[in-house]
Structure 1
Amino acid sequence: MKRRFIAGAKCPCCEAQDRIVMLTTADAEWIECIECDYSENRPTEVLEPEVPAVADEIGVIQFKPRKA
């Protein structure tokens, strides 16, 4: 298990600064507060949005110079 302190991070629960440590194993990552024992798992999969993406419409406009 790998432990790393996150400099400047505040605990979401007790708001103590510089007390958050990130723990990493082969299959999981999570953070813990050493002040209040708060912990939070890091998501391991990316969720796709439910709304389908719409392709951008790109058009080309060609301007012709005016004749004076």
Structure 2
Amino acid sequence: MSETTAHLDLDLVEKVLKIANLQADSDLKNAQRSFLPWQFLVSALALAFTAGAGLVAGLFALVRWKVGG
């Protein structure tokens, strides 16, 4: 194998690896994009449960203060 052929083989390998890297990057971005609605849903539910727990705790504190328990 001559030096020119070896150089062409290395160039080809480098191009194939760049394409594979771009494809993996695109796949990762697509996976993250499809997971985004679930992240929003989980965050919204956590916020709702936290707000609900705060309201219930405030209501119990108010009732306890008014009743005198």
TM surpasses 0.5: no
Structure of higher RCO (CA pairs closer than 8 Å, 6+ residues apart): 1
Greater helix share, structure number: 2
